[in-house]
Structure 1
């Protein structure tokens, strides 16, 4: 099993993939795996009614669904790479709340670091939710 973090950029209609171990899955395999998400995610946004007036998430006349999001694997030099294969889940768990916290703080002009107290609380809750989820 391989984990990576995905950031959805609604402004660019892109799913940015942060992969901490690029040797595990090729670009072609990643594109194939993310194909369903590139279609599903914009449809979920549209169905939520939160973006009903956003022209990027409309269904064009004659089409059955809205435009797919692009999938972009972030460059290796912008994503910390794990030294030991198998640490990808830890990276995804750590990166996700950090990314959310930085985005929220950036919108308010607050500087953030990797060790923000609120981020730590989020990581604990997120990890506990993952550990208590049923295994399928």
Structure 2
């Protein structure tokens, strides 16, 4: 495993469309698969009324609720790839103009009305690349 710096980790998250958001629901961890877009360094997701994440974010108030966001690409055969976890505050996007812009940036991946957008501001970004040990030895030579 090779650690990733913040810039490379965010670049990799921006290169994929799917990830998982982790939040607290009824004092227990909850995880949901979502699609996302990276916008000015923040993760934007869209969700729907009734989604478990919406009340968690609404009830938090400023600066938002602490969540984790994880995205990865790992080949099941070679076991090579990368994984990134972003930890930060999630907030509902309520400004009508900004909400419209986010809707234009990110199309829902499920056939369901998605009226809400959530921004996760990355406070802590950690990640690693799973590499072939033989390639690492060759690069060191």
TM above 0.5: no
Which is richer in helix?
1
Which is richer in strand?
2
* Highest RCO, 1 vs 2 (Cα 8 Å, sep ≥ 6): 2
